[in-house]
Amino acid sequence: MKAGFEGGRKLSGRSRSRIRTSLITLCAALLAGIAWVSYGGGGQGSITYTGKSGPVIMAVKNVYLVRGPDMAAGKVVRRLIFSTADLASKLKACQAMTCSDADLREGLAVDLDAGPRLNYWFVADNQKLQFSGTSPPTALRLTTDNPQRLTGQLAMDDSTRGGPKTELQFDVAMTKEFTRWR
């Protein structure tokens, strides 16, 4: 059979181009999916904060799940990190739990398992704007909760206390597990 024939039909140059484009798109999607599973997860939604200079609205695109010792709680905790920037390589390079949120410039870090409430740290404007607080555990609704993966929603509203309001959905695999706090 001659090149350019399939099933007895000759493929036009345009058809070959479409097939090639489809295959490239499929490969790119598969690679993106592998990277997504390996280095964190997908997140969507927003974090809104109303400060003295006006509202700050962040579109979250990256979510990471880390696990390690917490100095204050004296036990191992899981931490969800919601970020506008890609922190995967920085988290992979971290050697201790204290490093896990050090490069968070715009986003939210939420500690799970640290106590009866969710402890969080919100940052914006390259960490110039910060707010720490707690939220009731009902703000976090998980549909998948196992040691290696979390899927769910985080909907908290601390705006009346001067804190952030979040509407976030996520599906994240364990990014890194730490054995040391520092």
Give the span between the Cα atoms of 31 and 162, in whole angstroms: 41
The model carries a pTM of 0.76
pLDDT tens sequence for the chain (182 residues): 555 555 556 656 665 555 555 545 444 444 444 443 334 568 899 999 998 888 999 999 999 999 999 877 678 999 999 999 999 999 999 898 888 888 899 999 999 988 899 999 999 999 999 999 999 999 999 999 999 999 999 999 999 999 999 999 999 999 999 888 87
Q: What is the pLDDT of residue 99?
A: 85
| DSSP 8-state class, residue 20 | H
For residues 66 and 102, the answer to whether their CB atoms sit within 8 Å is: no
Q: What is the pLDDT of residue 152?
A: 97
**Residue written as token pair 């964190």:** 40
DSSP string across 51-114: ETTEEEEEE--EEEEEEEEETTTTEEEEEEEEESS--HHHHHH--SGGGTTTT-SSEEEEEESS
- Rounded Cα–Cα distance for residues 104 and 91 (Å): 10
Helix (H, G, I), strand (E, B) or coil at 167: strand
Most distant CA atoms of the chain, gap in Å: 74
Q: What are the extents of the domains in the chain?
A: 9-34, 41-177
- 134, 121 contact by CB (below 8 A): no
- pLDDT for residue 26: 45
For residue 71, the model assigns a pLDDT of: 78
pLDDT of residue 31: 42
